Copies of this chain bind each other. A is one copy, B any other.
Amino acid sequence: MGKLYVVGIGPGGLDYMTIKAVKAIEESDIVVGYTKYIEMIKPLLDGKKVYSTGMMGEEARCQEALRLTSEGTVAVVSTGDAGIYGMAGLILEMKKDEEVEVIPGVTASSSAGSIVGAPLMHDNCNISLSDLMTPYEDIKKRVKLAAEGDFIISLYNPKSKGRPHYLREAIDIIKEYRNEDTPVAIVKHALREGQEATVCTIGTFDDSIVDMMTMVIIGNTKSYIKDGLFITPRGYKLENK
């Protein structure tokens, strides 16, 4: 019976994978993942059996990945960190006696943050606005408490066609706890083909350029913009800008 690796491939560009992630894929006979993620790591897939499916088949994909360990070593790939909104949870929930190793990756908020400055330097949180599996009321409550707690807030899955107004509403909630000039980063395809990044303020924020592939990061009360860079000071007492 082969081992199963759950591999976080990071933002998508091969250079931002860990060496361990590359090794795990190289060592695997079979690679399983969402079609778009499989595309991103194509140069590593020569001679391997690939099992890719559309976004909605996650449970079936995990089931298949676990089954495939009877045929060899398997890598299930997720973008970002496989352990943050990735495939690690479902695989571990469904696994029986298969040997599973989770290989962490650079999560999407870290990738997005790195290209706009240093927004995540103090206490920070990741919130997904997707209500596919979480009631919207719970999401809004969480956004409010995070804003009140002065967290830097990274919004995953900020917008989709079925819920076009959630992001606007989240920003309105956060605005009650932030000045108008609080920095906001809008980052699309961080560190992969098609990268686009904008830094604006919560007062001028326009959600029209945001889609499901975007990460939105909102600063804490000490965050500021310096020459276009979004910076959160690490210490509240530090005044050396």
Interface residues of A (CB under 8 A from B): 8, 10, 13-20, 22-23, 59, 81-86, 88-94, 102-107, 110-111, 113-115, 117-128, 132-135, 138, 141-142, 145-146, 148-151, 191, 226, 229, 231-238, 240-241
Find A83's partner among B8, B120, B145, B226 (CB 8 Å cutoff): B120
* Given A92-B226, A150-B142, also A121-B83 (CB < 8 A): yes
Find A125's partner among B13, B83, B104, B146 (CB 8 Å cutoff): B146
B-chain residues with CB within 8 Å of residue A141 when the two chains form the complex: 149
The 3 closest A-B pairs by CB, nearest first: A133-B235, A125-B125, A89-B121
Considering the complex, give the chain B residue whose CB is closest to the CB of A237: B133
B120–A110 touching, CB < 8 Å: no
* Given A19-B16, A19-B19, also A235-B83 (CB < 8 A): no
B10–A15 touching, CB < 8 Å: no
Question: Copy number in this complex?
Answer: 2
A93–B240 touching, CB < 8 Å: yes
B-chain residues with CB within 8 Å of residue A124 when the two chains form the complex: 84, 125-126
A118–B146 touching, CB < 8 Å: no
B-chain residues with CB within 8 Å of residue A14 when the two chains form the complex: 19
The complex places the Cα of A229 from the Cα of B6 at a distance, in Å, of 15
* Given A19-B14, A121-B85, A151-B125, also A236-B134 (CB < 8 A): yes
Give the Cβ gap from A159 to chain B, nearest Cβ, in Å.
Answer: 17
Q: List 27 A-B contacts (CB under 8 A).
A: A15-B18, A16-B104, A17-B18, A19-B19, A81-B110, A83-B119, A84-B110, A85-B234, A88-B117, A89-B231, A90-B238, A92-B226, A92-B231, A94-B241, A102-B114, A102-B115, A104-B110, A104-B111, A123-B142, A124-B126, A133-B237, A134-B235, A135-B236, A138-B236, A142-B149, A145-B145, A146-B146
The complex places the Cα of A128 from the Cα of B220 at a distance, in Å, of 15
Find A134's partner among B10, B92, B122, B149 (CB 8 Å cutoff): B122
